[in-house]
Amino acid sequence: MSGHSKWANIKHKKAKMDAQKGKLYTKLSKMIIVAVREGGPDPNANSKLRDLIEKAKEANMPNENIMRAIKRGSGELGGENVEHVMYEGYGPGGVAIMLSAMTDNRNRTASEIRHLFDKYGGNLGEAGCVAWMFEKKGLILIEKNERTNVDDIMMIAIEAGAEDIQEQEDSIEITTSTENYEQVKKALKDNNIVLSSAEITYLPKSTVEVSGKDAEMLEKLLDVLEDHDDVEEVYSNYDSK
């Protein structure tokens, strides 16, 4: 893992999404629908759904919106046939990019994503072209303040099965295997530790530094991809420090 702070990226994303509540609620609804279809409507038995409900509540999404999405996913209500799709490609400077998307029209979404890659100096590739550069991991971020006891947090996380812990200037970043993610998260919460972010994500095995015009174009590309209505998450090996 690179040494730059992932908390900075999370803060940027949260601020951006706070300014676009309607779009965020639409994305969360799609994600909940797919999570229910893949793992059932019971959050106690479906950890992905449980995480999404937590995210939705943190974003102040109305409870009726959450319940409506769960019912759509379980078939109780009609609705669009949303499915999960991954896209892979390269951005300016050879940066690897993966997208997780929710779509009711694969052809339309693929065409729009390809257009954005082309417009900002990238290339949408075939499935598997960059996936090998990433690892699926649990990532838990804790914002530091004057009351944060870093040693205690590290000890709790290690004992619960964390793989890697990095202390940054303003955050603690805990990496877990997908298998140990839930138990590490639970151990931290059971000790009244506030989590700023917790998710299963794709982390790059190594990062690429980009500068000048390539960096400008790359950041524009990442921004427009994140803004796309169908895109759930954008992963890259860009070192943005």
> Are residues 87 and 58 part of one domain?
no
Q: Where in the sequence is the domain holding 182, given as residue range(s)?
A: 134-204
> Are residues 19 and 55 part of one domain?
yes
Determine, yes or no, domain membership for 117.
yes
Determine, yes or no, domain membership for 1.
no
> Are residues 217 and 119 part of one domain?
yes
pLDDT tens, residue by residue, 115-158 = 999 999 999 999 999 999 999 999 999 999 888 899 999 999 99
> Are residues 143 and 40 part of one domain?
no
> Are residues 228 and 128 part of one domain?
yes
pLDDT, residue 3, reads 40
Determine, yes or no, domain membership for 241.
no
> Are residues 45 and 145 part of one domain?
no
Q: In CATH, what number is assigned to the domain containing residue 60?
A: 1.10.10.200
Question: C-alpha angle 238/240/241, rounded to 5°?
Answer: 135
Percent of the chain with pLDDT over 90: 65
The structure tokens 């990433």 sit at 134
> Are residues 157 and 173 part of one domain?
yes
- Name the pTM for this structure: 0.78
Determine, yes or no, domain membership for 211.
yes
Provide the residue-wise pLDDT of the chain in tens; the chain has 241 residues: 334 466 666 655 655 555 567 788 888 998 899 999 889 999 999 988 999 999 899 888 999 999 999 998 888 876 668 888 999 999 999 999 999 998 889 999 999 999 999 999 999 999 999 999 999 999 999 999 888 899 999 999 999 999 999 998 889 999 999 999 999 999 999 999 999 888 899 999 999 999 999 999 999 999 999 989 899 889 999 987 6
> Are residues 110 and 172 part of one domain?
no
For residues 175 and 163, is the Cβ–Cβ distance under 8 A? Answer: yes
Number of domains within the chain: 3
Residues 6+ apart with CB under 8 A from 80: 104
> Are residues 166 and 51 part of one domain?
no
> Are residues 140 and 198 part of one domain?
yes
pLDDT tens, residue by residue, 89-108 = 999 999 999 999 988 899 99
Integer Cα distance of 53 and 28 in angstroms: 9
Integer Cα distance of 26 and 32 in angstroms: 10
CA 151 to chain centre: 27
